[in-house]
Amino acid sequence: MNAAPAETLQAVATRLRADFPLLARSVHGKPLIYFDSANTAQKPTQVIEAVDRFYRQFNANVARAVHQLGAEATSAYEGTRDKLAHFVNAGSREEIVLTSGTTQAINLVAWSHALPNLKAGDSILVTTMEHHANIVPWQLACKRSGAQLKVAPIDERGELIVERFIEALTPDVKLAAVTHVSNVLGTINPIAELARATRKRGIPLLVDGSQAAPHFKVDVRALGCDFYALTGHKLFGPTGTGALWARKELLRAMPPMFGGGEMIREVRFSGTSFADPPHRFEAGTPNIAGFVGLGAALDYLGSLDHHAVFLHEQALLAHLQEALRAVPGLRIFGEAAHKVPVVSFLIEGAHAHDLATLLDHEGIALRSGHHCAHPLMQFYGVPATLRASLAFYNTHAEIEQFVAALAKVRRLLA
């Protein structure tokens, strides 16, 4: 990939920051430095205005009323399904199930696809670096069915040991579930390679795309996976939104997870027939305004120069890691060759929560804790880490300010 001129990359964040109003606020009297986008991304004005406009101009329920407001709400809501299909390069809009986020999407696959097909002696394969949302649903399904959970290992650099993953794809494995990007380490997993291995063995592959979709283009057909889940609030959209992409033939074979209005074809006391996918899986009134906002977020992302954004984020990652390596007593967790700008670390003698609290008083927002990844913390032998997670709206100047603040709080804890 050819490098863009330095001034072009610097201009990316400067120009785009103006679209994110919250980045202009102060915290504890200091300008906010927001390094917690892996937790939730900030929202551009376009998204905020889209949600406001929905409630002010055409608030109504979807797929129920024939009046003008209902038609406008339904059009905007279903329009986001079309945008999501385009965003992941789905084969059709019918392959997109709108969910509250990745957690609901994975649970849907666990209960409607995995559980009906599992029996005692079967296995589900995950990796050591998974988020709890890609562990616990499979544990619940295994407990109900008598199946077991298998775990593919990683190395100290935070990279999946691919050959060990492939070796674990034995005939008892009925589904594999892998994160595209680790929320703790920033590691980008080689999904296309893993998908070739699972497809060769007839094993469906689910990919948790929560941390990948905000950083680079996702093409589910090129990846070759069978399920792909993503979360709207990490994608610069509203909370309570997300999607599951799945191959059409898999969705058609899956029973609904929830029952209620609008996921049915006909209801009789003698029995109910269900709507075709994806609406079969969308019972109840959804987060309509949220999905209107997510549609605006996808429009916003579609307007960006993705090549320049990617290069800018990679430059931020290189700067951040280089600066942190120079801090005495600091340990970085996960230094994979292919990463997004997510860096977890600890400083010898300082608790992650204490560091995070003191950095907050310097106006810097980072996450401390186990990051919903207890098994990964156990692998590294620590209870918690600090995590700096950046997005395209961050700058090199913020990294310098962060490192200076880190030196200050280290002195306070000495």
Catalytic residue ranges: 372
Read off the amino acid at residue 244: L
Backbone torsions φ then ψ of 359, nearest 5 degrees: -70, -35
- Indicate the SS3 state at residue 319: helix
Q: What count of Cα atoms within 13 Å lies in the side-chain half-sphere of residue 348?
A: 5
* Amino acid in the structure at residue 68: Q
3-state DSSP assignment of residue 52: helix
Rounded Cα distance between 395 and 281, Å, is 41
Measure the CA–CA gap between 191 and 338, rounded to whole angstroms: 12
Nearest alpha carbon to residue 326 among 400, 384, 386, 389:
400
Cβ neighbours of 251 (radius 10 Å): 24
Residues, the chain:
414
Instruction: Give the HSE-up count for residue 193: Cα atoms under 13 Å, Cβ half-sphere.
Output: 10
Local structure of 236: helix, strand or coil? coil
